[in-house]
Structure 1
Amino acid sequence: MNFTTPVNITKSMHCVDFSSEIITIGSCFAVNMGAQLDYFKFKNTTNPFGIIFNPVSIEKLIVRSINQKKFTEEDVFFQNERFHCYEVHSDLSSTNQQELLNSLNTSLEFTYQKIKTATHILITYGTSWVYQEKNSGAVVSNCHKMPQSHFDKHLLSVASIEAAIQNTVDAIRKVNPNCSFVFTLSPVRHIKDGFVENQRSKAHLITALQNLLSDHLLDQAGYFPAYEIVMDELRDYRFYGDDLLHPSSMAIEYIWQRFRASSISETAWSTLDEVEAIQKSLLHKPFNSLAESHQKFQSKLQEKISKLQERYPFMKF
């Protein structure tokens, strides 16, 4: 008797291992996956410019980073006692204009260097709905709580999404022709856009990605079906958080296990288990921190960490 419909996932031809240099970019689901990669001590960088939802904004930031087009005073504005930039998330906003510009340009250089050395780039798209700033006509990454009257909202066409994805890949290929791409679609439901509108948005993203992948227009690229796993395999509200929109920690863990099986090299699995055992041990809270038994526990734990760091010096606990 089956109670679910498992999504079949083909084993990746370009698996991640502990020698990989990974960049994780995109929606809040990219943050979820990035957190898993960080937990297991992969060499990973997640969203240097904060959470970005739509393909055009991701393209714009990638191209700007690769072209090293510095942010200037013209790229920032003052609202609600803080300086903001329409191209990045509000997490980067600041009360000081120069501090914001310095932070943005530091992230620009950092992103450029990471792209040049990346072996894998994971991109998660969240929505096809975008907001265009009326004065400039530019698509923004974040509205920063500016009045709705400042923007026009519209749904990106499949063709424009394909172009944005292709331009993103082409720009990266210019400085790093050998890196692999993993594309995913965020399972987070953007209900503020409307139920039908959310489905249209996801459909445009799926169609654009599959058009490019099926026509082999994206070399060394694959699709990981996170969205399909949640929609078809975990088809139950118990796999959502309290807001009933974002996947729960249980769902994220399950998606990670599917990612591990399909996209992480089997040669790395034993190390994953070692890292997890250490991480769980680090959370251990003793009844008596001065007890001899706890001191022995700590000593053995440090020995495990040291042996692992001998093989992987970049791992920090």
Structure 2
Amino acid sequence: MKLQTQVSLKKAKKQIDYQSRLLLLGSCFVENIGAKLEYFKFRTMQNPFGILFHPKAIEKLISKVIKGEVYSVDDIFHQNERWHCFDAHSDLSDPSKENLLLNLNNALAQTKEQLSVATHVLITLGTAWVYRHKESDTIVANCHKVPQKSFYKELLSVTEIAESLRRTIDLIQAEDPKIQCVFTISPVRHLKDGFVENQRSKAHLIAAMHEVLEDSKLEAEISYFESYELVMDELRDYRFYKNDLVHPNDLAVEYIWEKFSSVWISENAKNTMASVEEIRKGLQHRPFYPESEQHRKFVESLERKMEKVRQNHPFIDFTV
């Protein structure tokens, strides 16, 4: 008896290992995968500008990084006692305009540095709905609670999304044609837009993504991971969502991570991952008798395990 449909996944050709350098950009779902990669001590940079929900915001960030542009006071604004930038998430907002500009430009520089050594760029697309600021006639990454009347709400067409994705890929490939771009569609449901509107949005993203993947003129290493399809077609149940019934819960994230690992993480890396997990669990251990001989031996054994991992991967730091 078959009680579940299965999404067919193919092993990736250019898998991730502990020599890989990863840049992760996009919606909040990319942070779920990023948290797993960080837990296992892979070398990653995750959303330096905070969560970016739509392809235009990701394209603008990559464009500014590649072109070496910087932010000035003309690019920020004051609202509700804080300074904000329409290109960044509110996590970067600050009471001081000097601090905001410093953080924005540091994030650009750090992204540039990571991209210069990156082997993989993982991008998760969350929505095709965007907000256009009326005064500046520009699409923003975040509205920062500026009154709704200051924006037009627009649904990006399949063509607009596909063109934006191609420009983003071209910019990344210009930095290094060997970089592997991995795209996913976020399974997070943007129900604030409306049920039908959310479905239209995801449909536009999926159609555009596959149009780009099938573009024979695009000479780039690009792949697609079926995170959206795994939630919609394999899990298919509200017990895999958080209480808000919008975001996948820990069990769903763990399930998708296992699927991601099965196709994108190399077998050699999995041995190190097992060691890293054992060490991390050991570091969380709280002894009943810290002065006991048994605990002393436990600590010495843990130190030997950490040293063995560091011999092969000197960059792994268990203190953070």
Q: TM-score range with shorter-chain normalisation?
A: over 0.9
Q: Give 1:201's aligned residue.
A: 201
How far 1:291 moved relative to its partner? 2.1
Q: What CA distance in whole angstroms lies between the structure 1 residues aligned with 2:178 and 2:154? A: 35
The DSSP-based 3-state class of the residue aligned with 2:5 is coil
Q: Give 1:252's aligned residue.
A: 253
Residues 1-317 of structure 1 mapped to structure 2, 5 A cutoff: 1-216=1-216, 217=218, 219-317=220-318
Q: What CA distance in whole angstroms lies between the structure 2 residues aligned with 1:280 and 1:206? A: 39
Deviates more, 1:57-66 or 1:279-288: 279-288
Per-residue CA deviation, residues 51-88 of structure 1 (Å, 9 max, x unaligned), is: 00000011001101111111011100000000000000
Q: What CA distance in whole angstroms lies between the structure 2 residues aligned with 1:4 and 1:291? A: 51
Per-residue CA deviation, residues 203-222 of structure 1 (Å, 9 max, x unaligned), is: 00000010111224362111
| CA separation of 1:218 and 1:90: change in aligned 2, threshold 3 A | farther
| Residue pair 2:128, 2:155 contacting (<8 A) in 1 also | yes
Q: Which residue identity lines up with residue 288 of structure 2 in the other structure?
A: F
| Residue pair 2:29, 2:186 contacting (<8 A) in 1 also | yes
Deviates more, 1:277-286 or 1:62-71: 277-286
| Residue pair 1:187, 1:230 contacting (<8 A) in 2 also | yes
| Residue pair 2:188, 2:246 contacting (<8 A) in 1 also | yes
Q: What CA distance in whole angstroms lies between the structure 2 residues aligned with 1:305 and 1:295? A: 15
Per-residue CA deviation, residues 161-197 of structure 1 (Å, 9 max, x unaligned), is: 0111111111111121210010001010000000010
Query: What's the % identity of the aligned pairs?
Result: 49
Give structure 1 regions of 4+ aligned residues with deviation exceeding 3 angstroms: none
> Given the two structures, how large is their TM-score scaled by the length of structure 1?
0.98
5+ long unaligned stretches in structure 2: none
> Given the two structures, how large is their TM-score scaled by the length of structure 2?
0.97
5+ long unaligned stretches in structure 1: none
Q: What CA distance in whole angstroms lies between the structure 2 residues aligned with 1:7 and 1:286? A: 44
User: Please, what is the CA RMSD of the aligned residues?
Assistant: 0.9
Per-residue CA deviation, residues 194-245 of structure 1 (Å, 9 max, x unaligned), is: 0010010000000001011122436211100000001111111111111111
Per-residue CA deviation, residues 24-61 of structure 1 (Å, 9 max, x unaligned), is: 10000011111000001101110011000000011001
The DSSP-based 3-state class of the residue aligned with 1:11 is coil
The DSSP-based 3-state class of the residue aligned with 1:202 is helix
The DSSP-based 3-state class of the residue aligned with 2:23 is strand
Q: What CA distance in whole angstroms lies between the structure 2 residues aligned with 1:154 and 1:171? A: 25
Q: What CA distance in whole angstroms lies between the structure 1 residues aligned with 2:58 and 2:92? A: 16
